[in-house]
Amino acid sequence: MSALHTALEPKIVARYTVRETMGLVILGVALFWSAGHMDWWPAWAVLAVMAAWTAATAIVILRFNPALLAERLGPRQGAKPWDTAILSVLGLSQLARYIVAGLDERFGWTGDFPLAAQLTALALCALGYALVVWATASNAFFSQIVRIQTERGQTVATGGPYHSVRHPGYLGAIVYELAVPVLLASWWAALPSALNVILLITRTALEDRTLQAELAGYADYARHVRFRLLPGVW
């Protein structure tokens, strides 16, 4: 490890910690401010899932792919214009989903919701992001933007969940998007979540096309692992 890398690593970790902590704070404000109270266990459950995902992601990156942390924090050079647009809409829609769920909690739009369904949804939320963490640990190039990381010598990820589907991270995120409105007991929050699922499927298709065109070896990998998200379906 170079002296420069040794000197920069604590700063990178600190930046990551600050950024992710602020994200959790914003999430908490969106949920509890819109709900009008903090005595709302599903919101605390969402925060717990997100905090666990954030911590687990940091752990697996630092253990398996430490260079990926700098990649995730670096300038978004080389990002596809369509990806920037999708991420912008996705971020706003996800925030809106939590605010709508909070307002639903405050005004009771949805009404009573089965506790068993909420607990099942909580388990699915956790499993969805566990799959995202597994994908992150299995792919040294699991960036948050769509680009070919030529400066890092990007290669095709084939281990872990990539043995079964080509985009397991998106699959995990979609499971979370489908489950979290149920956890928050809000059918109204399912509307922005449905938009998020559409955006994630669109991004999957566009990213897959980009990888087939620009990443050496990916087209051959795609012939062996036929399905993008769901085995036997697509």
Whether residue 106 lies inside any domain: the answer is: yes
Q: What is the domain count for the chain?
A: 1
Look at residues 162, 134, 17, 15 and name the one whose alpha carbon lies nearest to residue 64.
134
54 part of a folded domain: yes
- Per the CB < 8 A criterion, the answer to whether 133 and 126 are in contact is no
212: in domain = yes
| In-domain check, residue 43 | yes
- For tokens 């911590």, what's the residue? 55
Q: Domain of 151?
A: 3-224
Residue pLDDT, tens place only, 158-207? 999 999 999 999 999 999 999 999 999 999 999 999 999 999 999 999 99
Q: Is residue 116 part of a domain?
A: yes
Note whether residue 96 is domain-resident: yes
Per-residue confidence (pLDDT) for residue 71, from 0 to 100: 77
Residue 230 resides in a domain = no
Which CATH number belongs to the domain containing residue 62 in this structure?
A: 1.20.120.1630
The residues of the chain scoring below 50 in pLDDT are: 1-8
Alpha carbon separation from 66 to 13, 42, 60, 129 (Å, rounded):
10, 33, 8, 20
- The answer to whether residue 233 sits within a structural domain is no
Q: Where are the alpha helices (DSSP H) in the chain?
A: 3-35, 41-64, 67-73, 81-107, 115-138, 168-183, 190-214, 218-224
Q: What's the whole-model pTM score?
A: 0.92
